Structures are given as C-alpha cells and as structure tokens.
Amino acid sequence: MSSLFAGFTIGLSLIVAIGAQNAFILKQGLLRQHVFWVCTVCFISDSIALSAGIAGFGLVVAKFPEIEWVARWAGAAFLFWYGAINFRSAWTNTTGLVATGDSPKSLYKTILLCLAFTWLNPHFYLDTLVMIGSISTQYPDPLMFGVGTISASCVFFYSLGYGARLLEPVFAKPHSWRILDTLIGIIMWFIALSLVA
C-alpha cells in the first residue's frame, strides 16, 4: 500500500505544474470541445510513458540523448506557434467564452494538437521515463508504484478537463478570456524559450 500511495502522491506532484499540456486541457474544458478525448489521450500517453519508465526505458533515453534533442527543438517550435495563436486570439476575441480567433476544431485536429503537446515536450520524457522510472526502483513494489502514478494521471486529467466548466461564469466575459489567452501564450513562449536556452 505504501508503494501505491507514494506513486500517487509523487505522480500528482509532477503533473499539477502549469504547463503547455495542462493549459490546453483547461482551455478545451472551458470551451467544452472534445473534453473526454483530450483527457483520454493525455491519460493514455501518460500511462504508456510511465509504464515504459518503470520498465526501464529511461535507460534507453539516457543512452540515446538524440531523442531528447529532437523533442526539445520540435517542442519549442510547436509551442512558439501555438503561443502565437493564443496571442492572436487574445487580440481578436470580443465574444467571451467562444473565442473568435479559436473556432471549434475537429476531433482529429484536436487529438493531433493534444498529442503534440504531450509527445513533443521533453519534460514529458524526463518526468515519466527518467524521473519516475528511477524513483520506482526505490520502492519494494514497483508495479503498485506504477499503478499509483497512473491513477494520479487519471484523476488529474479528468478533474482538470471537466472541472474547468466551473469557471465558465468568469470566462463568459471577453476580458477574462483575453487574459487567459494571453497567459497561455506567455506560458507557451516561456516554455519554448526554456527548452532551447
């Protein structure tokens, strides 16, 4: 039980940080656009990476640093592009919750965006494959530790996606939505710069 609890708390502490993926989930939750699928893609991606990390794939990443280098530069380019879209949306939005610069996307495009936010982020690999993988070896039951970390991902992603609607009254105002878009743009550009700095 201690391994399960440790996995849950450590997994939750790593995932709650405000990042590109979480900002995207929050925005989709506020717009009520493909929330289930966004949360599910993030959860399945996390589950795959966490399982691989605990199984020892982190050693492969350490042996082939090119994987991290490609993810770093591709991720930075993607985040810079998406940050620019959010800045444009903040500038043009005058309608409140449904942002004029952010018309509803198809499920296909939304899933592609979600996959990019996840798999083009080098921190994703470091947290799941390397960090969680190495921490899991310190516990007597790595399997239960893994179950704990995966459970934390499940609870967090679906809570963030579906809990975002509680903020709808605030984001019915164009001013609030502009602030959110601006903050998301800043976060995206800050992470992009930190990746290549």
Give residue-wise pLDDT tens across range 20-61. Answer: 888 899 889 988 999 999 999 999 999 999 998 888 765 666
Q: What is the mean pLDDT of residues 82-98?
A: 70
Amino acid of residue 194: S
Is the CB of residue 33 less than 8 Å from the CB of residue 136?
no
* Res. 101: pLDDT tops 50: no
Q: Tell me what the pLDDT averaged over the chain comes to.
A: 82
End-to-end alpha carbon distance in the chain: 41
pLDDT in the model for residue 61: 62
| Of 134 and 149, more confident | 149
Sign of CA dihedral 195, 176, 32, 87: negative
Q: What is the mean pLDDT of residues 60-72?
A: 71
* Res. 130: pLDDT tops 70: yes
Q: Residues of 161-192 as b/e, b for ≥16 C-beta within 10 angstroms?
A: beebeeeeeebeebebbbebbeebbebbbebb
Q: Is 30 helix (H, G, I), strand (E, B) or coil?
A: helix
> Within 10 A of 92 (CB to CB), how many other CB atoms are there?
14
Q: According to the per-residue pLDDT averaged within each range, which of 59-63, 105-109, 135-139 is highest?
A: 105-109
pLDDT in the model for residue 60: 67
Q: Output the pTM of the full model.
A: 0.74
C-alpha dihedral over 143, 147, 149, 153, to 10 degrees? 150
**Residues sharing a CB contact under 8 Å with residue 7, sequence separation 6 or more, in sequence order:** 136, 139, 144, 145, 146, 147, 148, 149, 150, 151, 152
pLDDT in the model for residue 167: 83
* Res. 128: pLDDT tops 80: yes
Query: CA–CA separation, 171 vs 146, rounded Å?
Result: 37
